[in-house]
Structure 1
Amino acid sequence: MQQHLLSRYRHGSVSLAFGVIPQDVLDETFKTKVVGHTHGLITEGQQHGDERERVMWGNIPLDPPPLIACQKGCKGFKDTSPNQDNFSVTHFKSGYTLICTFDGHGPFGHIVSTRTVQTVPWFMVVESGFDKDTIDEAGIEKALINAFEKAQSDVVAHSLENDWDVQASGSTAVAALFKGNKVWTANAGDSRCAIGTEADKKVVFETEDHKPQTEKEKARIEASGGEVRSQTYPDGWVNHRIFIKGKDYPGLCMARTLGDQSVKDYGVIATPEVLLTTVDLSKKAFFIIASDGVWEFLDSQFVVKAVAKKIQSDGPAKTLEKLQREAKKRWKAEEGDYCDDITSVLVQLR
Structure 2
Amino acid sequence: MGGCVSTSSRSTCSSRSNGETVSPIYGCCGQKRTKRTFSDHVITMHNLPSVPHRIFMNGKSRTSCIFTQQGRKGINQDAMIVWEDFMSEDVTFCGVFDGHGPHGHLVARRVRDALPIKLLSFLLASQSRQNGPGKTCFNGNTKKLEAGDSEKDGPAEDKSNSLWREAYLKAYKSMDKELKSHPNLDCFCSGSTAVTIVKQGSNLFMGYIGDSRAVMGSKDSNDSMVAIQLTVDLKPDLPREAERIKRCKGRVFALQDEPEVPRVWLPFDDAPGLAMARAFGDFCLKEYGVISIPEFSHRLLTDRDQFIVLASDGVWDVLSNEEVVEIVSSAPTRSSAARILVDAAAREWKLKYPTSKMDDCAVVCLFLDGKMDLESDYEEQGFSSATIQSNHSGNAIESDDGQKSEPSLQRNFTVRSSDESDTYGRLVVEDDGNGETFPGEDQNWSGLEGVTRVNSLVQLPRFSEERPNP
| TM-score in terms of structure 1 length | 0.77
Does 2:52 align with 1:58?
Answer: yes
| TM-score in terms of structure 2 length | 0.59
Q: 1:232: which partner in 2?
A: 256
Gaps of 5+ in 1: 1-21, 36-53, 76-80
Does 2:340 align with 1:340?
Answer: no
Residues 134-164 of structure 1 deviation map (CA, whole Å, 9 limit, x = unaligned): 2561301111111111110111111xx11x4
Is the 1:192–1:292 contact (alpha carbons within 8 Å) kept by the matching residues of 2?
yes
Is the 2:7–2:87 contact (alpha carbons within 8 Å) kept by the matching residues of 1?
no
- Higher helix residue share: 1
Match of 1:73 among 68, 71, 74: 71
Is the 1:205–1:277 contact (alpha carbons within 8 Å) kept by the matching residues of 2?
no
Aligned to 1:216, what secondary structure does the other structure show? helix
Q: 2:80: which partner in 1?
A: 87
Match of 2:312 among 286, 291, 298: 291
Matches of residues 311-330 of structure 1 in structure 2 within 5 Å?
Answer: 314-330=332-348
Aligned to 1:213, what secondary structure does the other structure show? coil
* Structure 1 residue 220, shift from structure 2 partner: 0.7
Distance 1:338 1:144 in 2: 34
- Higher strand residue share: 1
Distance 1:108 1:33, change over 3 A: farther
Is the 1:64–1:348 contact (alpha carbons within 8 Å) kept by the matching residues of 2?
no
Aligned to 1:232, what secondary structure does the other structure show? coil
* Structure 1 residue 60, shift from structure 2 partner: 5.7
Residues 62-98 of structure 1 deviation map (CA, whole Å, 9 limit, x = unaligned): 98422110222222xxxxx321111122332333211
Aligned pairs, how many? 296
Gaps of 5+ in 2: 9-13, 15-23, 28-47, 126-135, 141-158, 370-470
Match of 1:142 among 140, 152, 166: 166
Matches of residues 105-144 of structure 1 in structure 2 within 5 Å?
Answer: 105-129=100-124, 133-135=138-140, 137=160, 138-144=162-168
Amino acid at match of 1:266: Y
Structure 1 consecutive aligned stretches of length 4 or more whose deviation exceeds 6 Å? 27-31
Match of 1:212 among 223, 236, 240: 236
Residues 280-312 of structure 1 deviation map (CA, whole Å, 9 limit, x = unaligned): 22x2521000111111111112211332233xx
Distance 2:270 2:352 in 1: 28
Distance 2:350 2:279 in 1: 27
Does 2:95 align with 1:100?
Answer: yes
Matches of residues 245-256 of structure 1 in structure 2 within 5 Å?
Answer: 245-256=267-278
Alpha-carbon RMSD:
2.6
Q: 1:274: which partner in 2?
A: 296
Distance 1:173 1:56, change over 3 A: same
Distance 2:337 2:114 in 1: 30
Distance 1:64 1:26, change over 3 A: closer
Distance 1:104 1:250 in 2: 15
Distance 2:315 2:250 in 1: 29
Distance 1:155 1:143 in 2: 18
- Name which one, 1 or 2, has greater alpha-carbon Rg: 2
Aligned to 1:69, what secondary structure does the other structure show? strand
Residues 87-115 of structure 1 deviation map (CA, whole Å, 9 limit, x = unaligned): 12233233321111000000000111011
Distance 1:132 1:290 in 2: 33
The share of aligned pairs that are identical, in percent, is 29
Aligned to 1:140, what secondary structure does the other structure show? helix
Aligned to 1:250, what secondary structure does the other structure show? strand
Distance 1:290 1:56, change over 3 A: farther
Is the 1:116–1:151 contact (alpha carbons within 8 Å) kept by the matching residues of 2?
yes
